[in-house]
Chains A and B, each alone.
Chain A
Amino acid sequence: MITRLLLAMPFLTVAVLLLLALGALLFKRNLIKMLMGLSLMESAVNLFLVAIGYRQDGIAPIFTNAPQTLMVLPTVQALTLTAIVIGVATSAMMLSFAMVIYKKYGTVDVRNIRKLNG
């Protein structure tokens, strides 16, 4: 029972993080807080990707002095690294958008950044 709960811990964390992130995206009115929520969502998905990489009885794929030959493919780590880099680029671009919007509109309240509507 405790083992199952511990094994499920990363996925529970992912669920909590996702809920917090979606809450920030949907219910916060400040653009910067929405972008924080987006960054939180990226972290949640990255944690999910690393957590699914676990394979029972497998070891890291290092061939030197390996105790056994049953090894785990490092694919998820590659996926996570790519996702982190994409997340960095996205956050940088969207924060610069937020800066320009603040300069042009004078506000970061998304309810007032609505020149394009209807």
Chain B
Amino acid sequence: MMDSLALHLPALLVAIPLFTAFLIPLAGRAGGTVRSALVILGAALTSLAGLALAARVFAGGTVLYVFGAAAPHAAIPMDSGGIPIRIIFQVDALGALMVVIAALSSLAITLYSLAAESRQSGKDGFYSMLFLLVAGVLGMVSTGDLFNFFVFLEISSLAGAALVAYRIDQGEAVEGGLKYALLSTVGALSVLMAIGILFAQYNALNIATVASRLRFGALDMIALVLLAVPLAMKCGAVPMHFWTPDTYTTAPSSITALLVVSSQASLYGLFRILFTLYGDLLRFNWAVFGWFLVILGALSAFVGVTMAIPQKDVKRLMAYHAVSQTGYMLLGVGVGLAVFADAGALAAYGKTAMAGGLFHIINHAMYKGLLFLTAGAVFYRTGTRNLNRLGGLGHAMPWTMVFFMIGALAIAGIPPFNGFASKLLIYESVFRFSPFLAILAMVVSILTLASFVKVFHSMFMGPPRAEFAGVREVPAPMIAGMAILAAFVILAGLVPQAFVDRMIAPAVNALVDRAGYIAAILGGH
């Protein structure tokens, strides 16, 4: 029984959150306690399924799951003439890394939401949408089919937009949700157009099949731009980042943390398109698209952090930092993309740069989620996000302050936390690619530290204020959620090489190995 359960893990990964999402309104009729119990159960089972699947992939290689076939790994049906016709989930090491991120974050965030949203109404809708968003993210990173990717992209965008606009009593939240929905829909429609262009030429929707048949003509280049630019917009790359601060500020804090994970999933999609779908060693223009990512990354890093420094709203400041840190990831993987054709440079520093970028993805999801949750904790007790009006909360909220310090030191890249480990990898490899960019990245790091010192001073330091006299520490579920993320931040900082060996290096190898990805489905063609 356990074997067959393990065999169907990829399907369970998406089925459990979907099933929970649709059961929650029913459970809500039976009362708040039943709904909370179902929420905890659903989150725990989803995270368990995700971690189990990731363990299987890291131990045994790519996991295939063919929906509707006689056996889960029978990619090519007998009577199809050699075409994988069904929807296939293909989870390689990079996908497994993203599944780990989504599993850990969703568990921590759901625990946090139980206490943070306890005073709101309409919790049925909130938790349904939350599980739909989790299902969308998990589906986006597991699928091996282009149109399936589009569907999960739309699911996570729509659920995310609805969740951003959750507090409809304030107009600003709905404004943020509207901007997110508008941009996401325009982007997703152009992605659909690109998928149509690719299907029209190659009669296939499966990523491995299209990759093996790609001819790199003008239409294919148009499809690549129509795929890559909206996905870059969805991760918040400058100059398409304007929606990020508006949306992250007004969403409930747990949802902001989950939107960060959703942006990382779009980043995964971008890398999948560039490396696996289009990454032919001889016919792909590595330099142009590598420099596209590098320029986007450097711009995002610098513009993000400089826009963050003068902000008055703590979550808007953190949202600009999310843009800035995404710049680091784009920079690291972009350097790897740019030198891909040069085997010597790739082995010397290209792969390390990609490892730094990918390690930064998981580190960022954890410490950025932690920071947003602490900002939400302060908002939960004081009712304000305005840094000019906050102050002196250090004694009243000691746990929140400690978690904030851990997150702030991690994002600034201070040892011994995990931010330092991934930033070191990025600095050392980008320096050998272009010293100017490495120095720019270090300056950005200093400015990051500066802005978080400002936030720490404004929120926690100083004399206690009269209007916050009754503020106490936040409830236990919120502390538990923050503790899960903080534990990862500390652990990944203490033993970074263990994480690189077991998770990041396999992910880099999976990203680089286009032939292996295709052969897993088409069998060595």
Interface membership of chain B positions 182-204, coded 1 if the CB is closer than 8 angstroms to chain A and 0 otherwise: 10011011001101110110010
**Contacting pair B171 A105 (CB below 8 A):** yes
B510 within 8 A of A: no
For B200, list chain A residues within 8 Å (CB): 52
- Over the window 93-118 of chain A, the binary record of Cβ atoms lying under 8 Å from chain B Cβ atoms (1 yes, 0 no) is 11001101101110000000101110
- Is B176 interfacial (CB 8 A cutoff)? yes
Q: Report the bound CA distance from A113 to B189 in whole Å.
A: 25
Most chain B Cβ neighbours within 10 Å, of A52, A90, A103: A90
| Complex contact A48–B193 (CB within 8 A) | yes
0 or 1 for each of B144-172: is its CB under 8 Å from A? (1 = yes): 00010001001000100110010010111
Give residues 61-118 of A contacting B (CB, 8 Å). Answer: 73, 75-76, 79, 82-83, 86, 89-90, 93-94, 97-98, 100-101, 103-105, 113, 115-117
With A and B bound together, what is the CA distance between A42 and B193 in angstroms?
Answer: 10
- The answer on a CB contact under 8 Å between B174 and A104 is yes
* Cα-based distance from A73 to B179 in the complex (angstroms): 37
* Closest residue of A by beta carbon distance from B171: A104
- Inter-subunit contact A97/B189 (CB<8 Å): no
Q: Which of A73, A97, A104 contacts B181 (CB under 8 A)?
A: A97
Q: Hey, which chain B residues are within 8 Å of A113, CB to CB? A: 175, 178
Shortest Cβ gap from B90 to chain A (Å): 19
Nearest CB in chain B: distance from A77 CB, A: 12
B245 contacts the other chain (CB 8 A): yes
Residues 30-79 (chain A) with a chain B CB within 8 angstroms? 31, 34, 38, 41-42, 45, 48-49, 52, 73, 75-76, 79
A82 x B196 contact (CB < 8 A)? no
- Known contacts A93-B181, A104-B171, A116-B250; A45 and B189 CB within 8 A of each other: yes
SS class, residues of chain A in contact with chain B: helix
B203, A115: Cβ atoms under 8 Å? Answer: no
Select from chain A the residue with minimum beta-carbon distance to B147. Answer: A79
Q: B407 within 8 Å of A by Cβ?
A: no
The docked-state distance in angstroms from the alpha carbon of A22 to that of B61 is 44
Residue B280 at the chain A interface, CB threshold 8 Å: no
Distance to closest chain B CB from A116 (angstroms):
4
Q: Which residues in B have their C-beta under 8 angstroms from that of A73?
A: 203
CA distance A65 to B176 in the complex (A): 56
The 9 A-B pairs with the shortest beta carbon distances in the complex, nearest first, are A104-B171, A52-B200, A116-B246, A97-B178, A100-B174, A86-B154, A49-B196, A45-B189, A115-B172
Given A49-B196, A100-B168: 12 more A-B contacts, CB < 8 Å: A41-B186, A45-B193, A48-B196, A52-B197, A73-B203, A75-B199, A79-B195, A79-B196, A97-B177, A97-B181, A115-B171, A116-B176
B interface residues (Cβ-Cβ under 8 A, vs A)? 147, 151, 154, 158, 161-162, 165, 168, 170-172, 174-179, 181-182, 185-186, 188-189, 192-193, 195-197, 199-200, 203, 205, 245-246, 249-250
Q: Identify 8 residue pairs between A and B in the complex whose beta-carbon atoms are under 8 Å apart, listed by A's number.
A: A42-B189, A52-B197, A79-B196, A90-B181, A90-B185, A97-B178, A115-B175, A116-B179
